[in-house]
Chains A and B, each alone.
Chain A
């Protein structure tokens, strides 16, 4: 298989402009004739649906939520990057581009990342015009903060609710189009399969989550913006409903899955407290601007943090990475936390925690400033742990937070299945092996507002033959398969709950495909997961029927897909015999425990192709050819 990314020719800084001047346009009259399906209304989906509707396409937008405003994007706290250089601290498109490529440990595609940095500046303009209330300085201009992996302050934020405000901005644009009739909004409607006709994506099969009705929807192109798949680990910072079904079903219909093992473990989350735990809560990375991370120097320290003198504390990030200190990138900070905890220096009851201490910042800046900057995060911390972080240091521990992998897309954001586009966290494209903080929001909005509206025309102008009717044989067949699967889940009537399988899968994934991975563990997981999957289909119980609101059934389908995806992640992790970014293979590390990359053999994007239920998938590759920069050792010391 050929993975041609279709990158425009010319020097890197000019590629996107050149693309825009050469892109084929669809005339306004013709736009009305095209029907587009957008699945998802997070930052990526809402911005895409709104912009495409505004251009005159007929858009149908689907979400499993009750409203587009509930997408998981709403939970993003910290901020969004853009190369505005409003702080006059030397930022530029080139610098944001380089930071992102380097942050991703040289495993992302140059041309996509460069374009992302270029359009980042327009995103902020767009959002401000929509009324997004970003934080401002007293002079009335926009304020910025810094985030991990950058030495400039380029992150825009709205208190600790940046994702919420950006999503509400995109949602307002989408609402406007719904009101104008250009976008038909389908809430409570979950995509359960992709319909491919003559090799092109031509529609989807959905289930209405309230009535249980199964429906077929045909279109000229299908856009998936369905978010990340981190809930494969069960415990994560994702919303409980986030799932991989849309992209996994597309994978099973021929779309290749790239770099599935690249997952991000976020260093600053509230530690697990018990077996009943249903999710992990992120404490925004922005806290690392002012908080200092430390553990006791002594193994088995029992004193309260306040009683441990300065000389017996190890500010390990500042020690190990003096130039970035507490703002070292996420993968590096998470691994460092794991290392000190593995040494027995972790804090809290479980020993799986490190301190994030604000006492210096409070002394330096005053309580009020800290309260103004982080008040809501301190409140969340208090609610969950019943501890006051103004007085005692927070306890934090890494947790699964983001998935860099996703469906393969070319420069147009189109997968290898023509007519299937993938945006936002659901695609693999921009973050390589590790995503920098505040870059996911940027990518979601870049894809939706500023890339897909231009690239989709190139596909639409080239297709022949219109939309198939929904009674086309391929629709009928796919629909039958969807119905059969639901029936099988409902009629199984086994003994174990869906949740119990999800928990068990999560544990396998965390133990063997989490922060540290090795050949033995991954091979074990590749044995265990198919066994668990077989047991699921033997022994799962799903109460109720398919013709009603049935949360157990929704959950069952999603967990069934995670049980397949988890195995693919382990296969990818096993296949990639190097360490890079969030993928740390214990066999491949430097003497001082840093990731040891192997550009010669693994300077590529993995592209996994489904072969059928009983066959191992095949790994293809898209080589990463860097023209503009050189792959370098990633150094934050």
Chain B
């Protein structure tokens, strides 16, 4: 099969970008989408042109690095599948495929299809942790945790931090990411002591990083390669309200969680 690519090319975060067209050589339908780009890049390189810059690493759907908007949809056509797990058999011979970066103001384009998602790290640094010193932990079986709670925490923890949720949201809201991260820790008994401080700090950091508001459209969950449920957003909203209430009435110190 062969396809025609319409690819976003942009030199860096200071210059404007535009679409370029490329006709691919003959492809095998069992190639992954990224392998298809590898093949196109080999051809470009041999011609002395700049290959298309795109982000990737594990190529098995777990590191969260790959981040292409394919035909307008973050991570492409399939539900619950990351870009790197998308295969050419999902397209037809002769298709024109539009490939863009994950677009959102807090994720500046650094080159072609690569965006900078450092804003997520900033949110995590504000409170996405349990403050436990190395070596100071009690025996792991001291606190039994019911399987249901552990499983739900794991559902939240499955987030790969790719940012598709932000790219899919018309407001560039990071609520799905933040709520998954906060809920994982808030659900577990170990995370309870810092629950209020955590959720207040993370939401504040999210706002400061320029992410927009959630208007409950849930485009985020729909494109999430790990199908993180929008229920976590509701859960975090409850945690946030409770924390704000307690803060207003004095039982939560207003300083953030120590960093």
In the complex, chain B residues whose CB is within 8 Å of the CB of A281: 59-60
In the complex, chain B residues whose CB is within 8 Å of the CB of A54: 133-134
B224 to chain A, nearest CB (A): 14
A84 to chain B, nearest CB (A): 7
Question: Please, which residue of chain A has its CB at the minimum distance from the CB of B158?
Answer: A161
Question: Please, which residue of chain B has its CB at the minimum distance from the CB of A76?
Answer: B62
B61 to chain A, nearest CB (A): 7
In the complex, chain B residues whose CB is within 8 Å of the CB of A127: 140
CB < 8 Å neighbour of A66 from B48, B118, B125: B118
Question: Please, which residue of chain B has its CB at the minimum distance from the CB of A496?
Answer: B46
In the complex, chain A residues whose CB is within 8 Å of the CB of B124: 171-172, 175
Assembly CA distance A60 to B153 (angstroms): 32
In the complex, chain A residues whose CB is within 8 Å of the CB of B64: 69-70, 74
Interface residues of A in 42-82 (CB under 8 A from B): 47, 50-51, 54, 65-70, 72, 74-75
Assembly CA distance A270 to B117 (angstroms): 31
A477 to chain B, nearest CB (A): 31
In the assembled complex, A627 has its CB within 8 A of some CB on chain B: no
Tell me whether B146 and A133 are in contact (CB under 8 A): no
CB < 8 Å neighbour of A164 from B32, B44, B62, B126: B62
Assembly CA distance A224 to B140 (angstroms): 29
Tell me whether A125 and B45 are in contact (CB under 8 A): no
Question: Please, which residue of chain B has its CB at the minimum distance from the CB of A180?
Answer: B259
Interface residues of B in 42-83 (CB under 8 A from A): 42, 44-46, 48-51, 53, 55-65, 81
In the complex, chain A residues whose CB is within 8 Å of the CB of B62: 74-75, 161, 164
Given A51-B134, A74-B63, A125-B140, does the pair A176, B31 have CB atoms closer than 8 Å? no
In the assembled complex, A131 has its CB within 8 A of some CB on chain B: yes
**For A47, A65, A279, which residue has the most chain B Cβ atoms within 10 angstroms?**
A279
A128-150 vs B, Cβ < 8 Å mask (1 yes, 0 no)? 11110111111111100000000
Given A128-B190, A239-B58, A240-B56, does the pair A541, B45 have CB atoms closer than 8 Å? yes
Assembly CA distance A239 to B60 (angstroms): 9
Question: Please, which residue of chain B has its CB at the minimum distance from the CB of A77?
Answer: B62
The number of chain B residues touching the other chain, given as a range, is 35 or more
Assembly CA distance A440 to B235 (angstroms): 36
Given A67-B118, A278-B35, A380-B60, does the pair A86, B89 have CB atoms closer than 8 Å? no
Tell me whether B60 and A131 are in contact (CB under 8 A): no
In the complex, chain A residues whose CB is within 8 Å of the CB of B65: 65-66, 70
Question: Please, which residue of chain B has its CB at the minimum distance from the CB of A551?
Answer: B53
In the assembled complex, B141 has its CB within 8 A of some CB on chain A: yes
A441-468 vs B, Cβ < 8 Å mask (1 yes, 0 no)? 0000000011001000000000000000
In the assembled complex, A499 has its CB within 8 A of some CB on chain B: yes
**For B120, B157, B190, which residue has the most chain A Cβ atoms within 10 angstroms?**
B157
Assembly CA distance A418 to B54 (angstroms): 39
**For A84, A133, A138, A279, which residue has the most chain B Cβ atoms within 10 angstroms?**
A133
A413-452 vs B, Cβ < 8 Å mask (1 yes, 0 no)? 0000000000000000000000000000000000001100
Given A129-B132, A130-B129, A549-B111, does the pair A279, B59 have CB atoms closer than 8 Å? yes
A170-185 vs B, Cβ < 8 Å mask (1 yes, 0 no)? 0111011111110001
- Sample (26) of A-B pairs whose CB atoms are under 8 Å apart: A69-B64, A69-B161, A70-B57, A70-B63, A74-B62, A75-B58, A125-B139, A129-B136, A131-B153, A131-B184, A131-B191, A134-B150, A135-B154, A136-B146, A136-B147, A141-B141, A176-B131, A179-B258, A179-B259, A210-B110, A239-B63, A276-B31, A277-B35, A380-B60, A541-B46, A549-B114
Q: Which residues of A contact B (CB under 8 A)?
A: 47, 50-51, 54, 65-70, 72, 74-75, 84, 86, 122, 124-131, 133-142, 158-159, 161, 164-165, 168, 171-173, 175-181, 185, 187, 210, 239-241, 273-274, 276-279, 281-282, 380, 383-384, 386, 449-450, 453, 495, 497-500, 541, 543-544, 548-549, 551-552
List 7 other contacts, CB 8 Å, given A67-B121, A75-B60: A164-B157, A210-B110, A210-B116, A274-B28, A278-B59, A279-B59, A549-B111
